[in-house]
Structure 1
Amino acid sequence: MDRSDMAFFDAIFPERISREAEGGPRFLTSKAYASGGQRITNRDATYPKHEYSIAHPPRAQADFEALRAFFYVVGGDADAFRFKDWSDFRGRVDNTTATPVAGVANTWQLCRTYTFGSRQFIRPIYKLAAGCQVIRVRDGVETVLTAAPDVSTGRVVIAGHAAGDVYRWSGEFHVPVAFKDPAAVWRVLGGHKLITEWSGIELEEVRL
């Protein structure tokens, strides 16, 4: 659900636990079938939302303690936070771009590009990790810009733009997500270590 009043906790979900996640993008589409059997589809939203499920229990009690504390400080499903999708967290010069932000002078949105054959999908990236660099390609020459992108919005202000300039970037990025459920359900396993299990954790991407 999109919630404009959702607060954002600018911290990353425990990375040792996010390694266990399953999930990916889900497109919002609708479909119908004509009387002749033809399949008719419509993309109801330009961009998909990513969803993740963590079905495996923490491997150590320290992992559970971090996860429980994280759940408390974000208020269950109240606040969003950063999540590292280990399958797709790096932007490289050969798979990124930047697009002009409509109505905002000299401002560009950093994006991740996915190319297959003659088609290309451009995904805006809003939550950058620290250390991202923006590269300008002018007349085939690459130059690293001194302008630093905003890690909270994925935007960068660029001065001296000239027609034909192309911008790319490199660095890591995160997905803004929130817990789907306001409740947590865990149980203490037997054995002398008394490891606490919390399975079935569901996360969903949010638009902020």
Structure 2
Amino acid sequence: MAFHEVRFPDNISRGARGGPERRTQIVELASGDEERNASWADSRRRYDVAYGIRRADDLAAVVAFFEARNGRLHGFRYKDWADYKSALPSQAITATDHQIGTGTGSLQTFQLSKRYTSGAQTWVRAITKPVAGTVRVALGMVEQISGWTLDATTGVITFTTAPAGGVIVRAGFEFDVPVRFDSDTLDVTLDFERLGSITAIPLLEIRR
């Protein structure tokens, strides 16, 4: 299966619903206590973009996009308007938003990542679909205008010269979520006023 480096229409995704999903096994003991175990190390995102369809032209765009992806066969990019950049929603991206690694003196490649912190706990999410032209990189607290390249299809930063040992590598960026359709069927309706709708259009994040 292939991944198509194309983004689902922004005007439709803006009105979608969805977010992260975790899978936890909970066993209730005879005493009433619980045992909880995480089945997944990382979260997975689900969306329903049917809520973003407001007119017949939107409906036609989704059908065309669905057909071009062969239903569930091919993945694509999706902008999660609730979580699409390294900075807070009200702030601008900076080169020092998130630590993505530490220099060793020989390591030249670093995976973009975003850190989600609450209290003493942090979860690190690998960013594999950054938006080209939005990525900024810093060594220490100094932005690097050159000396590095980005693979926008994997989110890997490659330095021309390996950062020195102990130097913190940071980055700021916008990013998309790699997803696929989670159904091979679109249930389309078109009323007398030519206002189209689809009951549900589920998308599921692709984890590689």
Tell me if both proteins adopt one fold, taking TM over 0.5 as the criterion: yes
Name 2:204's counterpart in structure 1.
Answer: 204
2:44–2:205 Cα contact (<8 Å) kept:
yes
Q: Alignment length, in residue pairs? A: 196
Question: 1:125 & 1:145 partners in 2: Cα distance?
Answer: 21
Residues 58-90 of structure 1: CA distance to partner in whole angstroms, max 9, x if unpaired?
Answer: 222222221111000000111110000000001
Q: One-letter code of the match for 1:70?
A: F
CA distance in 2, matches of 1:199, 1:85: 20
Q: Which runs of 5+ in 1 are unaligned?
A: 1-5
Q: Would you say the 8 A contact 2:16–2:52 is kept in 1?
A: no
In the alignment, is the contact (CA less than 8 A) between 1:185 and 1:198 conserved in 2?
yes
CA deviation profile, 1:132-163 (whole Å, cap 9, x unmatched): 3342333xx41225212211111111223112
Query: Could you say which residue in structure 2 is the equivalent of 1:178?
Result: 180
Distance 1:95 1:49 in 2: 23
Which region of structure 1 is more displaced relative to structure 2, 40-49 or 10-19?
Answer: 40-49
Given that 2:28 and 2:35 are in contact with CA atoms closer than 8 Å, whether structure 1 keeps it comes out as yes
Is the alpha carbon distance of 1:63 and 1:177 closer, same or farther for their aligned partners in structure 2, counting shifts above 3 Å? same
Q: Please, which moves more after superposition, 127-136 or 108-117?
A: 127-136
Contact kept, 8 Å, 2:135 with 2:174, in 1: the verdict is no
Identity %: 29
Gaps of 5+ in 2: 88-93
Alpha-carbon separation, structure 2, partners of 1:56 and 1:118 = 36
Given the two structures, how large is their TM-score scaled by the length of structure 2? Answer: 0.86
Calculate the aligned-residue CA RMSD, in Å.
1.9
5 Å-filtered alignment, 1:1-208, equals 6-56=1-51, 58-92=53-87, 93=94, 95-99=97-101, 105-138=107-140, 141-146=141-146, 147-158=148-159, 159-191=161-193, 194-208=194-208
Instruction: Give the TM-score of the pair, scaled to structure 1.
Output: 0.86
